[in-house]
Amino acid sequence: MESRKVVITGMGMVTAVGNDLDSSWEALKAGKNGIAPLVQFDTEGFKVNFGGEVKNFDPLIAMDAKEARKADRFCQLAMAAAVQAMDQADIKELDDSYRAGVIIGSGIGGMFTFEEQHSKLLKRGARGVSPMFIPMMIGDMASGLVSIRYGFRGANYCTVSACASGGHALGSAYDQIILGHADVMIAGGAEAAVCSMALAGFANMKAPSTRNDNPGRASRPFDKDRDGFVLGEGAGIMVLESEQHALDRGATIYGELCGYGMTGDAYHMTQPDTEGRGAFGSMSQALRTSGINTHQVGYINAHGTSTHFNDKIESGAIRQVFGDHADHVKVSSTKSMIGHLLGAAGAVEAVITTLALKDGILPPTINYETPDPECDLFYCPNEAVKQEVDFALSNSFGFGGHNVTLCFGARR
């Protein structure tokens, strides 16, 4: 089988700091904070009243009104990011639609629709439930709608692995191209779980920060005074192609997806393995499949949730993998600015990592004020770092012990 490389020719994202790729990236480079009091629903009586909401989002930028009415918010966000990515990729036509696929992950899917329809069931009985309830709620519908939009008839499905979903989608799309099954893949993640049930559930398990009096400083990964993650929403989408396919059509190449690692903790439903074996394994596999060594990596976009265990264990795993070189690797968590996007996190952070390599600007970890002796790496505190880097990793770890690390390479 011919040697194939997977390159990135299009990117899109919707986040709490911007409704498109450029505005989000400019805000992230500047350390802008998108965490604020929630406005989509009444938070009276909730333990937490803030999050990383996408602000002033209009689905009609990517869908007509009829389509938007039949799509849950997570699908609307996915479509908006996909349109950005495909516009950037500028694919005019497909030689073979069966060699073009879509894989979009979501950890939860249509939770807004579920809440709304359950309320109608309680108020009006079975007849009150919409006939569109199931297709609007199911997690695979984002990939389905995007494939319909662009006529991609290849592999089409959704990865569901909690906070690793978006990363798993990109790794799976990489496989489709490397194995020769596809030339083009639209891949990423979308999540819209900033809703009452999700917020209440997370809060009752004491996972989120409770800094209701100062939400802008709530997400503080690796800081000694961190007290929990911040729930966010959004979408990140990439267009991946075989290098030869991209070159043949004269596409602009923004970066390379060089390889990945996927592991399981086999440890606990919600807590990461205290010895960091899953994180160690996923990073080690990513380096091995990419064919690079530790000294070639200059940046890691960390999972960095701002929870006590995750940040400590991830930092220790990075040091385990990189040894003395860990002191020379720049690390940051962009969740400090946009919150934790659950199933979309890995995809959005993959886009951010690619932009960091492309522009030579490593985004900051904001709200970093008090160093934690158990987190002893360089976390790009509060300001972006200007540095050209050849290779970078992006980590995503999810409930259930799901781990994925993506390795990206610069194409300048």
Q: 336 by DSSP, 3-state: which?
A: helix
Q: Which residues are catalytic?
A: 163, 303, 340
Q: How far is CA 348 from CA 55, 285, 334, 340, in A?
A: 16, 21, 10, 10
Question: Phi/psi zone of residue 261: left (φ > 0), alpha (ψ -120 to 50 degrees), beta?
Answer: beta
Structure tokens belonging to residue 371: 């160093």
Question: Phi/psi zone of residue 6: left (φ > 0), alpha (ψ -120 to 50 degrees), beta?
Answer: beta
Structure tokens belonging to residue 204: 């009752």
158: nearest Cα among 191, 194, 181: 191
- The residue length of the chain stands at 412
Beta pairing, strands 385-386 & 361-362: antiparallel
Beta-bridge mates of residue 237? 12, 188
Neighbours of 64 (CB within 10 A): 9
In a 10 Å sphere around its CB, with 0-12 CB exposed, 13-18 middle and 19+ buried, how is residue 308 labelled? middle
- How distant is the alpha carbon of residue 392 from its chain centre? 15
The sign one gets for the Cα dihedral 89, 176, 82, 400 is: negative
Neighbours of 121 (CB within 10 A): 14
Q: Which residues have CB under 8 Å from 127's CB, separation 6+?
A: none
Rounded-to-integer distance, Cα 138 and Cα 158, Å? 10
Using an 8 Å Cβ cutoff, are 101 and 154 in contact? yes
Structure tokens belonging to residue 11: 């990117």
Neighbours of 384 (CB within 10 A): 17
